[in-house]
Amino acid sequence: MNGQQPPPPQQQFQATASPEDLKGRYSNGMVIQHSKSEFVVDFFLSSHQTRQLITRVVVSPAHLKSFLKALGENIERYESSFGKIESLSAGDTSQDGLGYKIEK
Assign residue 48 a region: left if phi > 0, alpha if psi is -120 to 50, beta otherwise?
Answer: left
For 15-50, how does the pLDDT look when each residue is reduced to its tens digit (9 = 90+)?
Answer: 899 999 999 999 999 999 999 999 999 999 998 889
Alpha helices in the chain (DSSP H): 19-22, 61-82
Cα gap 71→32, rounded to integer Å: 16
Is residue 34 left, alpha or beta, with left meaning phi > 0 and alpha meaning psi from -120 to 50?
Answer: beta
Q: Helix, strand or coil for residue 37?
A: coil
Task: Select from 64, 52, 48, 50 the least CA-distant residue to 25.
Answer: 52
pLDDT: is 72 or 3 the higher one? 72
What is the pLDDT, as a whole number, of residue 87?
A: 84
Average pLDDT, the chain: 84
